[in-house]
Structure 1
Amino acid sequence: MGVQYYSSEDAGAPVLSGQAGALTALLDACVVDGYGSKPALGWEIAFTGTDLRAYRSTDPDASGALLRVQDTGTTVAMLRGFLTMSDIDTGTFSFPTSAQAASGLYAHKSNSATSDSRAWYLVGDERAFLLATNAYSSYWSVHFFGDVIGYSPTDAAAAILLADTSNSATGYAGFDAGGMTTGSPRSRWARGIDEMTESPLLGCSVISANNQSIGYGGYCCEYPNVVDGSIGVAPIILREVVSGGAILRGQLPGIFQPLHNHGLEFGALIPGNGDLTGRNLVVVLNGASSSAIGNVIVDVTGPWR
């Protein structure tokens, strides 16, 4: 199916709100069923229940990791990954583990338990997707699930889950260079590269002036580049945090760090250049737009791999 880009602005798009089942309805539409003129990503619902889903890629090259979504609440849903599952409530190699996060990680839907709609974007391919939600005013949350680009061809569990540890309406998930290495369970690998460690911590390596957040500012240049009017981006390298250090294990597919100070308009489509010539890039905010905590650049044309 390739890379697909979905938005709350699409005709026939599902509505995200502070109601039970709103997030599973959105994910059903985007990754399984499609809507309007938009084809689905080609995933499947492996197990289901009332406002419960376990989503899995059907790509033959995928890790087979499943995303369990418990959308029985209102303003947030709970997420947990599994390498295998036998029913909607049972699985192996959970990420995060119950010890790391008793109920799982939070996906932000809305700041109020109402049917009022909230803006959202979802970009993905057959093996992974990013979901950005505007749950509260200017605050955006970025969530990611699926297979990354592993550096080892034998890494059969190069799948990650990124969400939030807070149910605060002004909390946000995102690719944070500091928070992803402090022991927070919000970013986890499905399994260690040793094939035994459960839910090891995921870290990212980025170009950062303050070691806080991708796209935070203080980088090399203004946008656009005055020499040729282009945008500069860098891959987001992923680490597995181990005792006494870290392992460079892979990188995010189709998601990049901007090499610019603030000035990138959220939601703007930007033509790619260099290795990304011929592709469209979208700016996705990570945090509060009032302070422009960070941005990531997402390739919405693909392929990602």
Structure 2
Amino acid sequence: MTTTRVFQSTDTSAPVLTGQVGSLAALLEACLVGVGGVAYGSGGTAKTAAGWTLAFTATNKRAFRNSVAAGGTGHYFRIDDTGGTAAGAREAVLKGYVSMSDVDTGVGSDIMPDATLYPSGGWILKSDTATSTARAWRIIADEISCHLWVSADGGFSQGFHSFGDLASEVPGDNYRSYVLYQASVWSSGSNASRVATGAAETLLSPTTTAQSRGLSIMRAHAGVSAGSVQAGLPVFGRGSVNPLSGASGGAGAPCTSATSPGSGERYFTPLLVCAEGMIRGRLRGVYSCLNDLRSVASGTLQSSASGLPAGSQLMLLQACSSGAGNNSNVGTIAVETALAW
């Protein structure tokens, strides 16, 4: 049995995320591992860490493992927060391995994302300025998967990232680990790197080449040959074309009418992971909203959503691809915060 944990920058004694080296590495270590099982805080404000282990560490680098005891693969997820990308300390990079011998060295050929596409790893934007300005963040995690949301500029540059294990549809899938990251390195005004999710393609044919989808799975579904595969996420409330209606300016369907979005029933579907022309599985505890919820602020809680189990409480998070404030490309991601995934 796993336990869902919620960590937020507004919590008492919460770590601060900035555009400086090491801030994301320290944040993830606190929330996933903690000290003595405590992420931060004390007494009544203490937050219990998510139950991961810290396999290797170096200055501004961490390699985490999810919990085998809780049902995880025990694969390794490495954060390099040394500021070595073109964006400097504003970004960190994420890689996944089946095995590692130290914080910089993977063992064997199992690595994600593909090193030919992303030699340094997948990007995570922490802040649009390399300063000590604090940025809002949220981490929702259990012992197996970690979902990270960052407001990198305090406005429209909101990114959703994730790593851990999928809920796989492949029986005995030993290579179900994944990393979800930015599709391109950040630059001022860049839209492509502002969002880590989205699918303008058909459901079962996400882009599988080049740097157009920031999602990688450790191996193909057969699990025979080493080498990660690129995958896609059909996030219905986002994209240049609305996959529900085929209309341009895709933003999901109004809840009741175009003049009163959000006033009626909201519908959510599990966030599927599609690769190799099939549904490989889903992101654990994550849903895509079918409706137009662009006006709903990140962090809003949705209780008792239609079709979800009793006691469910979803946190709505926006993932925006436009630095100019054009929210037609916002997709609403919903993460379960109360129930086990």
Superposed pair shares fold, TM > 0.5 = yes
Identity %: 30
Aligned to 1:294: 331
Preserved CA contact (<8 Å) 1:3 1:303: yes
1-structure distance, mates of 2:24, 2:232: 27
Aligned to 2:199: 177
Identify the residue that residue 40 of structure 2 maps to in structure 1: 35
- Of Structure 1 and Structure 2, the greater strand share is in 1
Residues 286, 214 of structure 1: CA spacing in aligned structure 2 closer, same or farther, 3 A cutoff?
A: farther
> What is the count of residue pairs matched by the alignment?
297
Partners of 1:209 and 1:124 in 2: CA distance: 24
In 2, Cα distance between the equivalents of 1:214 and 1:278? 30
2:229 pairs with 1:200: yes
Q: Which residue is 1:115 aligned to? A: 132
Residue pairs, 1:154-165, within 5 angstroms = 154-164=172-182, 165=184
Q: CA deviation at 1:169?
A: 4.8
1:208, distance to aligned residue in structure 2 (A): 6.5
Q: Secondary structure at the residue paired with 2:27?
A: helix
Q: CA deviation at 1:152?
A: 2.1
Please say if 1:190 is aligned against 2:190. no
Q: Which runs of 5+ in 2 are unaligned?
A: 84-88, 245-249
C-alpha contact (below 8 Å) 2:181/2:214 kept by paired residues: yes
Secondary structure at the counterpart of residue 25 of structure 1: helix
Could you say what secondary structure the match of 1:275 adopts?
coil
Provide the C-alpha distance between the structure 2 equivalents of 1:21 and 1:301, rounded to a whole number of angstroms. 30
Residue 127 (str. 1) matches residue 144 (str. 2): yes
What SS does structure 1 have at the residue aligned with 2:96?
strand
For each residue in 1:61-111, what CA deviation from the matched residue of structure 2 results, as whole angstroms up to 9, or x when unmatched? Answer: 211221111111111111111111111111131101221211111111111
Query: 1:9 — aligned with what?
Result: 10
C-alpha displacement at 1:47, in angstroms? 0.9
Aligned-partner Cα distance in 2 for 1:52–1:282: 29
The verdict on how the C-alpha distance between 1:220 and 1:276 changes in structure 2, with shifts beyond 3 A counting, is: farther
Gap change, CA 1:7 and 1:210, over 3 Å in 2: closer
User: Which letter does structure 2 place at the counterpart of 1:71?
Assistant: D
Q: Does 1:98 align with 2:115?
A: yes
Structure 1: which 5+ runs fail to align? none
Check conservation: 1:175, 1:213, Cα contact below 8 A.
Answer: no
Match of 1:253 in 2: 284
Q: Would you say 1:268 and 2:300 are equivalent positions? A: yes
Deviation at 1:59, TM superposition (A): 3.4
Higher mean alpha-carbon deviation, 211-220 vs 201-210, is at 211-220
Whole-angstrom CA distance in 2 between matches of 1:125 and 1:108: 22
Displacement of 1:11 in angstroms is 0.5
Structure 1 residues 111 and 69, CA, compared in 2 at 3 Å: closer, same or farther?
same
Q: Give the structure-2-normalised TM-score.
A: 0.81
SS of 2:40's equivalent? coil
User: How far, CA to CA, are the matches of 2:32 and 2:252 in structure 1?
Assistant: 36
Question: In structure 1, how many angstroms separate the alpha carbons of the residues matched to 2:240 and 2:51?
Answer: 37
CA distance in 2, matches of 1:104, 1:63: 20
Q: Cα RMSD over matched residues?
A: 2.3
